[in-house]
Structure 1
Amino acid sequence: MAAMHERTKSYLRGRFWIWSTIGLSFLSLTLLIALVAVGEKWRELEENQQQLIHRSRRSSAETEVGKRTKRTTHWNVPHLRSYWNYRNYWNILPKYELSTPSIFDSLTNEEMLKIQRFMQQQPELNLKPVSEASMSDNYIFLMEAVLPPKSEVLDHLDRGQPMPARRARVTCFMGAKNPPVVEEFLVSPLPRVARYERVGSTISFHARPIDGFESNGMDEYIFKPITEKMFPILKKYYGYWYHNCTNRCIYFDTSARGLRAGDRQVHASAYRYGIDGYYIWPLPLQIVVNTNGNNPAAYSVTRLYFEHQSYSNVDEILDAYNSGQLKVTKLPPPPTGPTYGSPEKRRLHYGGDYRRRKRIPKQFEPDGKRYTVDGRRVKYLDWEFNVRFRALTGIQIMDVRFRGERIAYEIGIGEIAVYYSGREPTGILANFLDSGFVLGRLHFPLLKGYDCPNNAMYFDNTFYNPSGGRPHTHRSAVCLFEHNTGIPVRRHYLRDYTGPDISSFNYQFSLPGTVLILRGIITLFNYDYVLDYVFHPNGVIETKVSSTGYVFSITNPKGESSPYGYNINTENGILAPLHHHMFNFKVDLDIGGIRNRFETWDLKLESLPNPLAPGDRWIQKRLERNLRRNEQDALIKYNFDEPKYYVMYNAGANNSLGYPRGYRIYSNGFSKKMLPDGWSFENGISWARQQVAVLKQKDSEDTTASLFNQADPYNPTRNFADFHGDNESIVDQDLVAWVTVGIHHIPVAEDIPVTTTPGKELSIFLTPLNYYDEDPSMTSCDATVVRP
């Protein structure tokens, strides 16, 4: 029995090891298959990622040549999410969810194509596709979404009413009419377009922005004939020419700037092209062209400026040259390699090698992103807002809320202007109203990891491209990221003065400065404007604009100084003229609703008897609250001798201390417009006559920008002075603050090759003022308190 029992145990042990071996083999095989599958999926995802990155880069490098743009296929998604995702170790782009539609959405590709087809099918409009049109035809120049009346939007957002019908404004150049005009139409509803109506009065044809047809006309009938006659001079003295130029080409920068109201003139400045930073390689050749009408063959030369002298036509130049009266200065050829305008790194003069330097610090998100994005609705800690792209003015933020309460209905750029100085047309006429160049389409792709941190998310910018007559998308044109500012929001060290140790304390606390930043960069020819919307943890909204890019340049006789600026290249006689940047912002605050008031808290000096020294006087400041009752009373010109707070508040809503809840408008960037009010070009920037203007909200006064003021600032199509001409009451009304900041810039050597942002950052702060019962950041989990 014992022997049988031992054999049975031995048999069972053997079977056990056999089945264990089989089980382990099966499990190993299963794990191996799973690993192969995961590896294959990993490889597939990596390939997809690389394809997406390649497409994004290829799209960023895509250029337009005035005809229909060759398009690259991309994912049709509402926004591009993070290139770096904390949940994804291998940095793979995540899947996309359908976004929630919003009343603030911009036009999509599909909507623009539907609008285009609908409008071109209306026989009475006689609109042609851009590819088949000419200057004397009717065609579409611009499309942009138009918000419904604010009251309807608030009914939808706050009272659960259905979303109002979305609409679009379509701007058409009607060259086939006699006389030719510009007309604008309101198209609705979207996305199923069914009707249109004209809006506003017709706009004079002379006030339109320059487009491809006008540029091509000047090229054929003005630039080529003139430069062909001047070819021997241009080649001999400058080494650059216009026709058949290969890599030695002259480029004409053109801007519509009439010489008087109702006039259509285009000023063209010559540059050496194909050189790094060609903006700072001008030539002493300017042409003022009369482009009135719709027939390019009828274009004519108003004046020619060559070698700092004025001529009526090119034959006068040739006669003066051949007779020896005109002395042309021979300019040295630019270097064949990098120039003083090149952006590449320079070698260090004090020794060392920049290539051995350590890399810059980078931020990471240890627990993942603290914000979410649904379409273009952003939620970040206590903040919520919508991102909106407007074709005319660029990015805006809409329906901005803190802790569920709306603080602002709309914040965004109204207009950008820059006015130069000089003694020749290039400086004298260099006055720009930048919305005339359609700011929204100038949000180009951003350089990831440089323009924005590695952990940023990106939004695409889709707009109607008039040169191709089709929608176009700039990929990754606006970024969103959380940022550590490096300075505490609040902190204190409460020293223990009773202790024996000077370092003893009762407690200390600190809250790091972390903010969410929405960033877009507008590139206007030579200048780049970095526009940031910054959301602070204590309920503060900051709008910041920083200037960089290449300075504008003009020619100056070699060896001569100038009262208009400093020479930046003495060998070639190149000067960077002084100028004034001005930025107008729309700030539509809704404090506890739309019934708001505006007042200034004026600081005054008073002289009182000194109670501690009888017979002496004591001088100190006191506060006077000054309620502004009408629009004219709320046009504020900043005055250092009269310091004040600018306060928007709701008289019917108090905090627990009994004070009306409000917000303060503050800026570190107020600057004086020096041009006299009502003078010539100044009429186009009447919004800059005051730094703060608080007016009653009107849907018809939605922006200070205009497509048409650049060409005719003397009698502007949109005149801000008309906004407050009726002088309405602003007590307990829906109010909008128009805030203007600026900077006077005198370029110097350190602005070469590119001017830098430090010292050129202008901010507008919207800060709570008795809105809360205490600092709202006291609820932040980011803070720390240390007690001994």
Structure 2
Amino acid sequence: MHRFLLALLGVVSLVAGTALPPLGYERRLLRDAWNKRQQTDNSSGSCFSGAAPPAVAPKENVWAPMDAADNHAVWTLLHDPSSGLNLTLPINATLSDNYVFWLDTTPMNKSAVLPYIDGDGPAPSRYARAIIFRGGQEVPDSQEYFIGPLPVSAETTVQPLDYIYNGGDGGRVPYNARYFDAKRSAATEPLIAEAMSGIADITAALFQGGAYYGPRDNRTTLSITSGTPLSFDGTQAFRNIMFRFPGPATYMTPLDFFLLIDCTGTDASRYFVKGFVTNERFFPTVADLRAAFEAGELAQEYNQTLDGSWALVDRKPELGVRDLEERFAPGIIELGGKRYRLDATQKYFEYMGWSAYMSFSRTLGIMFFDIKFKGERIIYELSMQEALAQYGGNQPKAANTVYHDTYYSLGTDMGTLLEGFDCPFGSTLWNVTYHEENSTIVNQDALCIFETDSGYPLSRHRAGGGPSDYGFQSLGVVKGTALVVRAVATVGNYALNSVCSDYLFHVDGSLEVVVRASGYLQSSFYYPDQGKWGPRIQQATQGSLHDHILTFKADFDILDTANSLQVSELIAANQSQPWFPELGEFEQMELNISYMQTEQQFNWAPNNQAMYCVVNRNKTNAWGEERGYRIVPGRSDVHLSVANSPWSLKNAAFAKSHLAVTRQHDTEPFANSVQNVNLPWKPQQDFAKFFDGESVEQEDLVLFFNLGMHHFTRAEDVPVTLYTEAYSSIVFAPQNFFDRAQDGDLLNRRWVVPTAEDTLEFETYGVELPSCPIEISEPVYGISPVVTQEDAI
């Protein structure tokens, strides 16, 4: 028997023994991830080898978010009377007061960072950023500030953060377009309660006793929701409110009733009802609505379900049990021990030639900086810029809904990952922190790092014509693996397993970004004549058609900051060849190679008949070819379907093409702003203005790319959308960056040669199959340790 089979049987015999848990394992409590991470002793021979080996970051992580001490000091400084901001503590504030909305870290200027990370320059100064709602001004607004340098000292100043926004008002946002926080919501509640109380008899008759008297009234049996945008240009504010049956699956139980209100300004006494919508009709007044009701014109064709248990993500016994499903499903296990190194303090990793720093933002989630392969920089920054969803429909909530998830502070919604299900057992789990007022919040185990088997060989080839019955002379197979960084952010009704995405660092030097979406649909009440906006998916529920567009930024530095975007088009050309005279002129494909000259947004070529590469024209490989990285479209690389919707007219330009290339500027760190969703006609950050005719030939280039999916809703979206099809990806792959494929230096391979004795010889290159028991302990999941600042990104 061959050596590799003997080794494999050694593993199987140990796995099949007492080490595996008995049947019914899924009913037992999962082990605590923290305890497993602390078990670094491998004397038992367990395949779980504990923590990753240490790495030492070459420089301090200057992109790291500010810590708890800095946050507290900044908060104290802002509230000091000497700041002149006249702030009220948020807990005591009203709409007419000035108060801090949130604190985060100001993005680092690349021009200040490069001398430090590439040379002997000083570490750049760090700054905080704060959004302050200024209701106490004569013209109320929201203004963003930057505060620094940090740590707070006599040199620290508080200045308007205007330079990163191009909409004309800098960091200022009109009051009516500012974030609709709890205080603004509370200001509209009396009007909503008054309007709905007056028609409680109508709603009770139409919706199985459903009525709304206010959130704290015991007679209330309905819940409310409203989306964004809530303004067009900041001169007005409105809420289009939909009513639903409450419960854990309220997103899936919408009712056919909408209240439209105007809530412009800080004086709630001026708010008014614009009208009601039901039965696909608009009623400007209560009198109009009541007349239609009394005439019997509002009868509902379908009753919404009162029991929402069908929409819960638990097991449904009525569906039965599949054969052998009582056995624990297979998983990824780092059998030979962790093959990546971490500097947990600096949030820096090294893996099979890769190295990078990580950071975290309350709005963007996970970000990567100084991404290198084999010591050469490829990307300066890789980060998600926005997760946008736009809906369509013939009902107010669906027709006008556009979400920008950064508006909801996407990074703060990165929650605890369930080890063994969200991430493989044995993954490295890190916390993330963000700041709320003068406190620091820790989301435990919100990011996981693990190495995965690619599920296919990296490379494989068999040379034929062997001397024996095996039929080949030699066989070479290289194992494919990648390091994965993953987080899951649950924003509202969707759990987007990629709002931070999966970032895969492949051993061949390719970098892949994958996004997946799961979660409750934002559904609509079902009408048979509205099938153009989605199918019926439950008794009285329609799946609302919508787009998910996730915009990413990749600041390429192929070897240095002088890069170009090469376009290699496959064209059909007519030509003749003298050795085929009988063919005369015939059609053949060839490459038409050019370089983009100016900043622009563009789409993938039809039939993918163009290759886009970021190259350094001043650097060549051994064969004289320009070194670069190819942008490889993956699955479902889409852009926004609607270009001229009034709800996303000018504030979503970043989502309206597959790709965009711009010159890097410190004044353009973000494609969007966190309050832009309420300014579709007059955006604070206008992405279209990035494209002002600047050259992109041998310049510092930034590539923006879009992933996502057109969500053609279906019954199988109940209870939640499945990750299987809600999937999108892109790959950055070496294109003449090296002189040959980056697999020759990998030891995890097999070279197989037949012998004269009709046996096979296996060259293992010193990497033998591990033989060890797999031990899974099962303490209670979720016991949290004491968390220190060093534990968190």
> Please, what TM-score do these two structures have when normalized by structure 2?
0.83
> In the superposition, relative to structure 1, how do residues 226 and 248 fare at CA in structure 2: closer, same or farther (>3 Å)?
closer
Q: CA deviation at 1:323?
A: 5.4
The residue identity in structure 2 corresponding to 1:214 is: R
**Match runs of 1:501-520 below 5 Å:** 501=469, 503-520=470-487
Does residue 1:114 correspond to 2:73, yes or no?
Answer: yes
575, 579, 591: which one aligns with 1:623? 591
Q: How many pairs does the alignment contain?
A: 700
Instruction: Tell me the residue number matched to 1:779.
Output: 745
29, 37, 56: which one aligns with 1:82? 37
> In the superposition, relative to structure 1, how do residues 93 and 602 fare at CA in structure 2: closer, same or farther (>3 Å)?
closer
Q: Structure 1: where are the runs of 5+ without partners?
A: 1-49, 57-79
428, 438, 459: which one aligns with 1:457? 428
> In the superposition, relative to structure 1, how do residues 83 and 515 fare at CA in structure 2: closer, same or farther (>3 Å)?
farther
Instruction: Tell me the residue number matched to 1:129.
Output: 89
Cα separation, 2, equivalents of 1:453 and 1:444: 16
Q: Structure 2: where are the runs of 5+ without partners?
A: 1-28, 163-169, 755-793
714, 734, 751: which one aligns with 2:717? 751
The residue identity in structure 2 corresponding to 1:568 is: I
Do 1:86 and 1:368's aligned partners in 2 also have CA atoms closer than 8 Å? no
Which stretch has the larger CA shift, 315-324 or 757-766? 315-324
Q: CA deviation at 1:222?
A: 2.5
Do 1:84 and 1:456's aligned partners in 2 also have CA atoms closer than 8 Å? no
Instruction: Tell me the residue number matched to 2:362.
Output: 391
> In the superposition, relative to structure 1, how do residues 615 and 658 fare at CA in structure 2: closer, same or farther (>3 Å)?
closer
237, 252, 266: which one aligns with 2:239? 266
Cα separation, 1, equivalents of 2:457 and 2:39: 27
**Match runs of 1:588-737 below 5 Å:** 588-609=555-576, 611-632=579-600, 635-640=601-606, 643-668=609-634, 669-676=636-643, 681-725=648-692, 727-737=693-703
Which stretch has the larger CA shift, 150-159 or 679-688? 679-688
The residue identity in structure 1 corresponding to 2:567 is: T
Please state whether the residue corresponding to 2:440 is helix, strand or coil: strand
The residue identity in structure 2 corresponding to 1:217 is: A
Do 1:662 and 1:771's aligned partners in 2 also have CA atoms closer than 8 Å? yes
Cα separation, 1, equivalents of 2:451 and 2:55: 24
The residue identity in structure 2 corresponding to 1:658 is: G
**Match runs of 1:129-278 below 5 Å:** 129-193=89-153, 194-200=156-162, 201=170, 202-219=172-189, 221-236=190-205, 237-243=207-213, 249-258=221-230, 260-262=232-234, 263-274=236-247, 276-278=248-250
535, 538, 549: which one aligns with 2:508? 538
240, 263, 268: which one aligns with 1:296? 268
Cα separation, 2, equivalents of 1:522 and 1:664: 29
Instruction: Tell me the residue number matched to 1:62.
Output: none
Q: CA deviation at 1:393?
A: 1.6
> In the superposition, relative to structure 1, how do residues 723 and 607 fare at CA in structure 2: closer, same or farther (>3 Å)?
same
Q: CA deviation at 1:368?
A: 2.2
Cα separation, 2, equivalents of 1:283 and 1:93: 51
Cα separation, 1, equivalents of 2:321 and 2:568: 55
Cα separation, 2, equivalents of 1:563 and 1:169: 44
> In the superposition, relative to structure 1, how do residues 356 and 614 fare at CA in structure 2: closer, same or farther (>3 Å)?
closer
Do 1:347 and 1:353's aligned partners in 2 also have CA atoms closer than 8 Å? no
The residue identity in structure 2 corresponding to 1:686 is: A
Cα separation, 2, equivalents of 1:456 and 1:149: 33
Instruction: Tell me the residue number matched to 1:71.
Output: none
Q: CA deviation at 1:329?
A: 5.6
Cα separation, 1, equivalents of 2:707 and 2:36: 33
The residue identity in structure 2 corresponding to 1:290 is: D
Deviations 1:562-605 (A, max 9, x none): 21110112x3x211121111121101111111111112011111
- Percent of aligned pairs sharing the same letter: 24
316, 320, 338: which one aligns with 1:369? 338
Do 2:52 and 2:339's aligned partners in 1 also have CA atoms closer than 8 Å? no
Cα separation, 2, equivalents of 1:520 and 1:313: 47
Cα separation, 2, equivalents of 1:600 and 1:332: 54
Deviations 1:386-436 (A, max 9, x none): 111122222111111111111111011112211111112111101222222
Indicate the RMSD between aligned Cα atoms, in angstroms: 2.9
Which stretch has the larger CA shift, 366-375 or 575-584? 366-375
Instruction: Tell me the residue number matched to 2:537.
Output: 568
Do 2:253 and 2:304's aligned partners in 1 also have CA atoms closer than 8 Å? no
Cα separation, 2, equivalents of 1:81 and 1:415: 34
Instruction: Tell me the residue number matched to 2:62.
Output: 103
Cα separation, 2, equivalents of 1:264 and 1:754: 32
Cα separation, 1, equivalents of 2:648 and 2:43: 55
Do 2:260 and 2:276's aligned partners in 1 also have CA atoms closer than 8 Å? yes
Deviations 1:625-647 (A, max 9, x none): 11112214xx3222315711111
Please state whether the residue corresponding to 1:586 is helix, strand or coil: strand
Q: CA deviation at 1:704?
A: 1.0
Cα separation, 1, equivalents of 2:615 and 2:680: 35
The residue identity in structure 2 corresponding to 1:364 is: I
Q: CA deviation at 1:372?
A: 2.3
Q: CA deviation at 1:357?
A: 2.0
Cα separation, 1, equivalents of 2:242 and 2:410: 22
Cα separation, 1, equivalents of 2:324 and 2:211: 39
Which stretch has the larger CA shift, 707-716 or 532-541? 707-716
Q: CA deviation at 1:314?
A: 4.1
Cα separation, 2, equivalents of 1:95 and 1:651: 38
Do 1:248 and 1:272's aligned partners in 2 also have CA atoms closer than 8 Å? no
> In the superposition, relative to structure 1, how do residues 733 and 434 fare at CA in structure 2: closer, same or farther (>3 Å)?
same
- Higher relative contact order, chain-length normalized (CA < 8 Å, sep 6+): 2
Instruction: Tell me the residue number matched to 1:448.
Output: 419
Please state whether the residue corresponding to 1:279 is helix, strand or coil: helix
Cα separation, 1, equivalents of 2:646 and 2:185: 30
Q: CA deviation at 1:230?
A: 3.2
Cα separation, 2, equivalents of 1:429 and 1:83: 49
Q: CA deviation at 1:346?
A: 2.3
Q: CA deviation at 1:93?
A: 9.0
Q: CA deviation at 1:187?
A: 0.5
Cα separation, 2, equivalents of 1:330 and 1:597: 59
The residue identity in structure 1 corresponding to 2:328 is: R
> Please, what TM-score do these two structures have when normalized by structure 1?
0.83
> In the superposition, relative to structure 1, how do residues 509 and 473 fare at CA in structure 2: closer, same or farther (>3 Å)?
same
Cα separation, 2, equivalents of 1:473 and 1:294: 34
445, 448, 455: which one aligns with 1:486? 455
Instruction: Tell me the residue number matched to 2:784.
Output: none
Which stretch has the larger CA shift, 659-668 or 93-102? 93-102
Cα separation, 2, equivalents of 1:52 and 1:170: 40
> In the superposition, relative to structure 1, how do residues 781 and 240 fare at CA in structure 2: closer, same or farther (>3 Å)?
farther
Cα separation, 2, equivalents of 1:51 and 1:545: 27
Cα separation, 2, equivalents of 1:214 and 1:88: 59
Instruction: Tell me the residue number matched to 1:42.
Output: none
The residue identity in structure 2 corresponding to 1:110 is: A
Deviations 1:191-217 (A, max 9, x none): 335221112132212221211111222
Please state whether the residue corresponding to 2:651 is helix, strand or coil: helix
Do 2:128 and 2:147's aligned partners in 1 also have CA atoms closer than 8 Å? yes
Which stretch has the larger CA shift, 482-491 or 441-450? 441-450
The residue identity in structure 2 corresponding to 1:363 is: I
> In the superposition, relative to structure 1, how do residues 250 and 617 fare at CA in structure 2: closer, same or farther (>3 Å)?
same
Q: CA deviation at 1:105?
A: 0.7
Q: CA deviation at 1:677?
A: 5.2
> In the superposition, relative to structure 1, how do residues 701 and 773 fare at CA in structure 2: closer, same or farther (>3 Å)?
same
Do 2:569 and 2:610's aligned partners in 1 also have CA atoms closer than 8 Å? yes
Do 2:508 and 2:743's aligned partners in 1 also have CA atoms closer than 8 Å? yes
Q: CA deviation at 1:190?
A: 1.9
Larger Rg over CA atoms? 1
